Amino acid sequence: MTAAAYALVNLAAVKHNIGKIRDYAPQAKIMAVIKANAYGHGLLRIAEVLQGVDAIAVARADEGIRLRLSGFSIRIVILEGFVCKQELEDLIKYDLDVVVHSVGQVDIIENYWGQKKLTVWLKLDTGMNRLGFKSTEFTPIYKRLMACSSVKQPFFLMTHLSSADDPHSAVTRQQVNLFKDTVKTYPGEKSIANSAGIIAWDDSLTDWVRPGVMLYGVSPFSNSVGKDFGLKPVMSLHSRLIAIKNIGAGEVVGYAGTWVSNQQTRLGVVAIGYGDGFPRSAQTGTPVLVNGKRVPLVGRVSMDMITVDLSSQMNAKAGDPVTLWGEGLEVEEIARYSDTIPYTLLCGITQRVEIKKV
């Protein structure tokens, strides 16, 4: 039996998108970002089609260990690093590269005397104010790590852009310049760009690029879709109609009765809801494809169901196919109707949704 709600993941599209990333940054090595279960697409499934890239990045040690235990020998970078000695030892044991962003981590590394060396990505905070060292702290930290016999030399240098999705942001220019000024006399390969940097900020293309959302065919910008940049969407989300009913004018639909019919209406009930990861914030009017044609969502999204206005599809019946995003309906568009970003929609697909490769 197949699940009512399922997602299709198109692995050929991932390969296509990697090709596009190479076109944007032909000189750079690619660190493919597959944190958060590969943005909801399935960690191992996506890792399998990334054999051609130079490294993989995940947020946490457990994600990296899972990849190693599944037999992946590619370079794996743990973006959040570690917080204690035990975690550092696990990372070294599994040959995972670590992002070093705090003094506490440097203290722990200085007290590690194991045989096996650690690969470090030293992170500079150029304005995000999340992880990393300020440029003023950089030189002493660099020297401390240089003096560690347990750290492979020269180590990598990186920063993260906070506003690259705004093509007019002065902040991005400042971040790129600050990073380049701070690291320019130091050896070690350098990395700045996320997807938005790769597409919109040529200056951010250095030795390594770190694409995330564009791998999955999705635009990092709020006013465009992946196709505008030659990308192919990887995930589509599907379900089916489970009931049809006719309601009179003036009837209310769904929790809190937020939608009122102004005429006789043919309603469809679709087996998808926030329990599957379809956003509760999707407003009335959000497009849904029933039998490949657009109809509007009406009323509140519930845990397991949504309701749609089928007045334009008098022949639709229970069992008919429904697409929530995919071919003909971009996830970027659903994000706009739901006052969110496509990242949260992709990551938010829940366990109940069966993911199938195509």
For strands 97-100 and 75-78, give the pairing: parallel
Shortest Cβ 163–ligand PLP spacing (Å) = 11
Cα-based distances in Å from 207 to 77, 171, 202: 15, 21, 12
Copy the structure tokens of residue 136: 């003023």
Of 190, 210, 266, 300, the one binding ligand PLP by CB under 6 A: 210
Cα–Cα distance, 203 to 175 (Å, whole number): 11
Shortest Cβ 299–ligand PLP spacing (Å) = 32
Cα–Cα distance, 202 to 259 (Å, whole number): 47
Shortest Cβ 109–ligand PLP spacing (Å) = 20
What is the rounded radius of gyration, in angstroms, for the C-alpha atoms of the chain? Answer: 23
Cα–Cα distance, 325 to 336 (Å, whole number): 12
Options 42-50, 133-141, 193-201, 266-274: segment touching ligand PLP (CB under 6 A): 193-201
Structure-token match 């030795």, residue found: 207
Shortest Cβ 175–ligand PLP spacing (Å) = 13
C-beta of 5 vs 34, nearer to ligand PLP: 34
Binning the chain into helix, strand and coil, the percentages to the nearest 5 are: 30, 25, 45
Q: Give 135-138 contacts, CB < 8 A, sequence gap 24+.
A: 135/178, 135/181, 135/182, 138/182, 138/183
Total residues at the site for ligand PLP (CB under 6 A)? 12
Q: Residue 75 in 3-state DSSP?
A: strand
| Stretch 70-89 residues interacting with ligand PLP (CB under 6 A) | 79
Structure-token match 């009017």, residue found: 285
Can residue 98 be called a binding residue for ligand PLP (CB under 6 A)?
A: no
Which single residue brings its beta carbon nearest to ligand PLP?
Answer: 212
Can residue 14 be called a binding residue for ligand PLP (CB under 6 A)?
A: no
Can residue 162 be called a binding residue for ligand PLP (CB under 6 A)?
A: no
Can residue 211 be called a binding residue for ligand PLP (CB under 6 A)?
A: yes
Options 101-109, 190-198, 241-249, 348-356: segment touching ligand PLP (CB under 6 A): 190-198
Looking at the annotation, which residues are catalytic? 35, 255
Neighbours of 341 (CB within 10 A): 17
Can residue 220 be called a binding residue for ligand PLP (CB under 6 A)?
A: yes
Options 83-91, 192-200, 240-248, 289-297: segment touching ligand PLP (CB under 6 A): 192-200
C-beta of 56 vs 297, nearer to ligand PLP: 56
C-beta of 259 vs 343, nearer to ligand PLP: 343
What are the residues whose beta carbons fall under 8 Å from the beta carbon of 146, sequence distance 6 or more? 153
Q: Which residues bind ligand PLP (CB under 6 A)?
A: 33, 35, 79, 160, 194-196, 210-213, 220
